Amino acid sequence: MDVITYRVTATREGDWWSLVAEDVQGREVASQARRLDQADAVIREAIALVLDVDVDGFEVDISPDLTQVEVSDETLEALDLRRALAELSDQAHRRTPAAVTELRGAGLTVRDVAQLLGVTPSRVSQIEKQATLANSA
């Protein structure tokens, strides 16, 4: 079963973050948080209340909108780069087990694979073991 992800925009308004989730069963759900680290829990609670579901029954993707905050283009670029880096890191994490299997299958040593992937040799061995257990199940 696919988990629904609601897109949330967090806009700084004074001392608060205004949180708006669009298209929650055709409705807009809004809440607010003092700090950005509180936004996930706050908007989850609001969405769950509207949908009458558990707060863990869906995902939220919060995108901060800094158009109301006076920051330089360099700062905005740094934030964009960090978001891109996080996405690339997630992709690399998801693809690493297949890469380990393929590289080891091509005859490379555990240490060579570790060097290529930027992980420890023990992590390569751990990934191999997990793949073996998953294939035998």
- Per-chain mean pLDDT for the chain: 94
In the predicted structure, residue 1 carries a pLDDT above the cut 70: no
Give the residue extent of every domain in the chain.
Answer: 5-65, 73-136
Q: How far is CA 31 from CA 19, 67, 68, 72, 79, in A?
A: 5, 19, 18, 28, 24
Cα separation of the two ends of the chain: 21
Compute the radius of gyration of the chain from its Cα atoms.
21
Locate all alpha helices (DSSP H) within the chain, ordered by sequence. 39-51, 73-105, 110-117, 121-136
**pLDDT tens digit sequence for 76-127:** 999 999 999 999 999 999 999 999 999 999 999 999 999 999 999 999 999 9
Token couple for 90:
């997630």
**pLDDT tens digit sequence for 26-63:** 999 999 999 999 999 999 999 999 999 999 999 999 99
As a whole number, mean pLDDT of residues 3-28 equals: 95
The model's pTM is 0.69
Please, what is the angle between helix 121-136 and helix 73-105, to 10°?
60
**pLDDT tens digit sequence for 4-13:** 999 999 999 9
pLDDT of residue 68: 87
